[in-house]
Structure 1
Amino acid sequence: MSDEEFLVEHRGAVTVLTLNRPQARNALNGNLIAGIGATVLAAEQDSGTRALVLTAAGDRAFCSGMDLRAFSGGADVGFGDTPENRAFQRLTRGTVAVPVVGAANGTAVGGGLELLLGCDLIVAADTAKFGLPEVQRGLFPGSGGTYLAERIPLGIALQLTLTGEFFSAARGYEIGLINAVVPAGDVLDTALDFANRIAANGPLGVAACKELVRLSVTDPDKAAQRLRHWQGVVFASEDAKEGATAFMEKRAPVWQGR
């Protein structure tokens, strides 16, 4: 699937979605948001898709946030109540069913950084810069940036959101926001390596980990309830039996997702 503003490629069990507006620093307009949302929905509905990699074209920016030109002109920039927009919003909150690896080839600010915050893992180019500068424009990061303390220490999250200051990829790694910092040319390959390692694991166990680890930070009581649910589902599954059998037979497991 492709559109001039976004590209979708399937590499085995991994779907790669590329923001393709480099001339606009990959700013988010209505079409791009709808494309992201549609790709998320397709990945969730396809049992053969085990991970999603989100990257961008060009070497200047991963995403500069909302397309202010489109917004000021009255265009829909993701606020409409459509399935695609709702899927995009779930992505920014990290509640997409499929594991997501962000591959930041360049700078990500505002909504661009908020998009990365919805990813489960983040790989960044060593030249990339990041920031939530909304307060410097009389706004605030309203698409997930205020949940930054779910990923990093509270004091640092407050510093970054209250000052709007930028930080380097190295600093992002230091505070635990970014999982790997590599040369720009290695960003996508590194993200694909993470995604393929995730995709090789039992899909039910991966789904349980993704939900429960996030809930343990945001809603510990609900995490405890969901833990009991996932224990019943995963440990009694065919995949659990297959994992044990494959280990004993010294072969790669063949997962069924049930």
Structure 2
Amino acid sequence: MTDPVKTRCDGPILEIILDRPKANAIDLATSKIMGETFAAFRDDPKLRVAIVTGAGEKFFCPGWDLKAAADGDAVDGDYGVGGFGGLQELRDMNKPVIAAVNGIACGGGLELALSADIILAADHASFALPEIRSGTVADAASIKLPKRIPYHIAMELLLTGRWFDVDEAHRWGLVNEILPADKLMKRAWELARVLASGPPLVYAAIKEIVRDAEDSKFQDALNRITGRQLRTVDALYSSEDQMEGARAFAEKRDPIWKGR
């Protein structure tokens, strides 16, 4: 058996490749490896941006491995740190994650993509939440999707389980960019390098603010920010990078971010 999760590192960028033929489906063991991989990325100060994609040209990820379930993997089993796919429940993931959807992304595979910050997709990618057809619920998507796209569209997709193509996904704002298949990873790495050159403490603050404010009233969320009640915001406002940004602007030069 080959490792179902492969990684490639280039400086501050980590590429995480789900490689589990034939379709890159995720069983319990694979989910645990993915969680460990994402957690290691989160905790490594040398790494700044992650790209998650699937091996091959047909599948990004179809989600839960139903064959493994039939062999005894419990659907409510231990998925490991970060929950299913290692990302959607991972605490304090304060670094940018790009999903490069290289093919079919359905069920838990679409939920994995939704857990990223930016979604790029190949022009042949397709999507669905077909859990309803197998008598179960797309739990994470039921929480996230109505907040990402128009409510009635999200409910239609959840209630029917129908397939939709990449153009429709882009039309609803679910996908940032559509790329020719042979240009997808080049664009993902190009974008990752742009992000890797940016201020990591600011990225961390942005991600924590977004999470904290999701279910908060505007003024309550703003008070927590201005009161430095969020750990990442407090770290940013006390940092060398905060001063470096101001100096670089005043001196009309590019800032040198140190992440401290």
TM over 0.5: yes
1:127 is aligned to 124
TM-score (norm 2): 0.88
Taking the aligned partners of 1:193 and 1:226, their CA distance within structure 2 comes to 34
Equivalent residue, structure 1, for 2:114: 117
Selected match of 2:54 from 45, 53, 56:
56
> C-alpha displacement at 1:155, in angstroms?
1.4
| Matched position secondary structure for 2:236 | helix
Q: Specify the alignment match of 2:44 in structure 1.
A: 46
Q: What residue number does 1:237 align with?
A: 239
Residues 212 and 226 in structure 1, CA contact (< 8 A), matched pair in contact too: no
SS in 2 for 1:86: coil
**Contact 1:129-1:169 at 8 Å conserved across structures:** yes
Deviation at 1:226, TM superposition (A): 4.0
Quote the residue 2:16 is aligned against. Answer: 17
Q: What letter is aligned with 1:92?
A: Q
Q: Which residue of 1 aligns with 2:3?
A: 4
SS of structure 1 residue aligned to 2:78: coil
Give, in whole Å, the separation in 2 of the partners of 1:8 and 1:134.
29
Aligned Cα RMSD in Å?
2.2
The aligned amino acid for 2:71 is G
Q: How far off its partner does 1:76 sit?
A: 5.8
Map 1:93-108; keep pairs closer than 5 Å: 93=89, 96-108=93-105
Within a 5 Å distance, the mapping from 1:1-258 to structure 2 comes to: 4-21=3-20, 23-75=21-73, 79-80=77-78, 85-89=80-84, 91-93=87-89, 96-220=93-217, 223-228=221-226, 229=228, 230=230, 231-258=233-260
1:240: Cα distance to partner?
0.8
Report the CA distance between 1:140 and its aligned residue. Answer: 1.1
How far 1:33 sits from its partner (Å)?
1.0
How far 1:188 moved relative to its partner?
1.3
Task: Show structure 1 runs of 5+ residues with no match.
Answer: none
Moved over 6 A (4+): none
Q: 1:47 to 1:76 in 2, by over 3 A?
A: farther
Deviation by residue 1:8-65 (Cα, 9 ceiling, x = unmatched): 11111111000011x3210001232122111111111111111110011111110011
Give the stretch that moved more between structures: 237-246 or 55-64.
237-246
Change (3 A) 1:226 1:115: farther
**Pair 1:201–1:226, CA change in 2 (3 A):** farther
Q: CA deviation at 1:216?
A: 3.2
How much identity, in percent, do the aligned residues show? 36
CA distance change for structure 1 residues 156 and 19 in 2, over 3 Å: closer, same or farther? same
Give ranges in structure 2 of 5+ residues lacking alignment: none
Shift of 1:91: 1.6
Aligned-partner residue type, residue 115 of structure 1: L
The answer to whether the Cα contact below 8 Å between 1:129 and 1:166 also exists between their aligned partners in 2 is: yes
**1:139 Cα deviation after fit:** 1.3
Offset from partner CA, 1:185-231 (integer Å, 9 cap, x none): 11112122222222211111111112223443344466335423255
Query: 2 CA distance for matches of 1:247 and 1:10?
Result: 31
Query: In the aligned structure 2, how far is the partner of 1:226 from the partner of 1:88?
Result: 28
Aligned residues: 252
